[in-house]
Amino acid sequence: MLRIQSYETLLKSKATTFLRLDGSAFFDVFDFVNIPILDGSSLNVNNYIGDFNPPRLLSFTISSLFIMTLTFNKPLFTQSLKINTLRVQNGIQTSTFTPAFYFLTESFLIYADSLKLSFQVQLGDDYTRIAASSNIFKSQVCTQYFNLPFLYMIIF
């Protein structure tokens, strides 16, 4: 299903979901192959149950080349990723702690895997700006793992 969902125009609604069959897609108990259903005669789906589960960020990392990799639980529409709505911060807000946070304003998408589950973002100037004004990114451990207890990402 993930492979199909990675195509941004397939299986989105009943009106746009059709099936085409080659003449050798299956056969019956007497070895008769199915009658083909070719382009122009494709069958429309009878019942369509859409996907109602929102995508969830599973993990993210930062390499020593200042590339952040975001990994999601399901394919995303690539153009929907708004990098300027992402922010890094130096902890989770509690009643006794308010974290410093920084929006990614200069970062940009450089790669999406074929399933559109994993995206790479070049941090570049954002990395330099944030590192210069905070303790975020200060240690080698921190530059490699963005999901440490003292560093979190929030997606709005």
Domain end call among 9, 33, 51: 51
Do 72 and 119 reside in the same domain of the chain? yes
End-to-end CA distance of the chain: 27
Cα dihedral 7/13/16/21 (nearest 10): 70
Do 38 and 67 reside in the same domain of the chain? no
Do 25 and 93 reside in the same domain of the chain? no
Do 21 and 46 reside in the same domain of the chain? yes
89: which residues sit within 8 A by CB, 6+ positions away? 99, 100, 101, 102, 136, 151, 152, 153, 154
**Sequence letter at residue 60:** F
Nearest residue to 68 via CA among 38, 24, 108:
108
pLDDT of residue 146: 39
Per-residue model confidence as pLDDT tens digits over 109-154 = 999 888 888 999 999 899 888 888 877 776 543 433 333 333 344 4
**Sequence letter at residue 118:** S
Do 8 and 84 reside in the same domain of the chain? no
pLDDT of residue 51: 76
Binning pLDDT at 50, 70 and 90, where does residue 88 land?
Answer: confident
Do 18 and 95 reside in the same domain of the chain? no
Per-residue model confidence as pLDDT tens digits over 33-80 = 888 888 888 888 887 777 778 888 898 888 888 899 999 988 888 888
Residue 103, judged by CB atoms within 10 A of its CB (0-12, 13-18, 19+), counts as middle
Q: Give the residue-averaged pLDDT of 74-90.
A: 85
Given its phi and psi angles, is residue 116 left (phi above 0), alpha (psi -120 to 50 degrees) or beta? Answer: left
Structural domain including 13 reads 1-51
Domain count, the chain: 2
- Tell me which DSSP letter residue 55 carries: P
Do 77 and 45 reside in the same domain of the chain? no
**Cβ atoms 43, 37 nearer than 8 A:** yes
Nearest residue to 121 via CA among 76, 74, 77, 82:
82
Do 90 and 122 reside in the same domain of the chain? yes
pLDDT of residue 6: 65
Do 27 and 61 reside in the same domain of the chain? no
Highest mean pLDDT out of 5-9, 89-93, 102-106, 141-145? 102-106
Mean pLDDT of the chain, nearest integer: 78
pLDDT over 60 at 29, yes or no: yes
Domain end call among 51, 74, 92: 51
Do 72 and 18 reside in the same domain of the chain? no
